[in-house]
């Protein structure tokens, strides 16, 4: 037999019936705007040179209601070769997120790093399908490290602030 007394069951803290835990949930995701241009058809299908791709992306977040935020991942792809422009894809893929009890200083990292990471695989599929439906091989975009990009942006802003404050470049000499 053991000399230990039975332990009390663990209970969640009482909060007067109100849940105050920080939560963020994806409510919906959708294509907000999609454009595909094939300006050189039908000649483009006979071109022999390899295309060069230019991929640009941007992230935006806006409050759209009490505790509701829309995060938009904008991706622009242009395919050009020696003969001309093969295709252009412009996509705005959005997610509607519900936010409760999240500190203000945690919203920007979520909206600029985590939310795009959640949305990107779906936007990638939309682009691949769109390019394929335009008569080209599906375009599978490489994964993007949104967290790493966000951290680079934060570091660059900190360096700019320090440079403005001290009037000299920041870094190792």
Distance CA 153, CA 61 (A): 16
User: Looking at the domain 23-161, which fold is it?
Assistant: Bacterial Protein-export protein SecB (3.10.420)
Q: 39 with 88: CB under 8 angstroms?
A: yes
Domain ranges for the chain: 23-161
Give the predicted TM-score (pTM) of the model: 0.78
DSSP element (H, E) containing 73 = strand 68-81
Nearest Cα to Cα of residue 111 among 51, 46, 24, 3: 24
What are the pLDDT digits (tens) for 81-98? 999 999 999 999 999 999
Q: What is the percent of the chain where pLDDT is above 90?
A: 64
- How many degrees, rounded to 5, is the angle at CA 147 between CA 145 and CA 153? 105
């Amino acid at each position: 037999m053991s000399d230990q007394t039975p332990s009390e069951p663990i209970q969640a803290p009482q909060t007067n019936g109100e849940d105050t835990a920080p939560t963020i949930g994806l409510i919906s995701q959708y294509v907000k705007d999609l454009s595909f241009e094939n300006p050189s058809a039908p000649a483009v299908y006979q071109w022999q040179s390899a295309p060069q791709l230019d991929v640009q992306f941007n992230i935006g977040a806006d409050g759209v209601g009490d505790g509701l935020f829309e995060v938009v991942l904008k991706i622009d792809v242009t395919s050009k070769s020696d003969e001309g422009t093969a295709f252009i894809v412009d996509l705005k893929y959005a997610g509607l997120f519900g936010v409760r009890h999240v500190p203000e200083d945690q919203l920007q990292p979520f909206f600029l790093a985590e939310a795009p990471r959640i949305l990107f695989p779906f936007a990638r599929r939309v682009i691949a399908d769109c390019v394929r439906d335009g008569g080209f091989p599906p375009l599978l975009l490489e994964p993007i490290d949104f967290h790493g990009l966000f951290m680079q942006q934060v570091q660059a802003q900190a360096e700019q602030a320090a440079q403005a404050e001290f009037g000299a470049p920041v870094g190792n000499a």
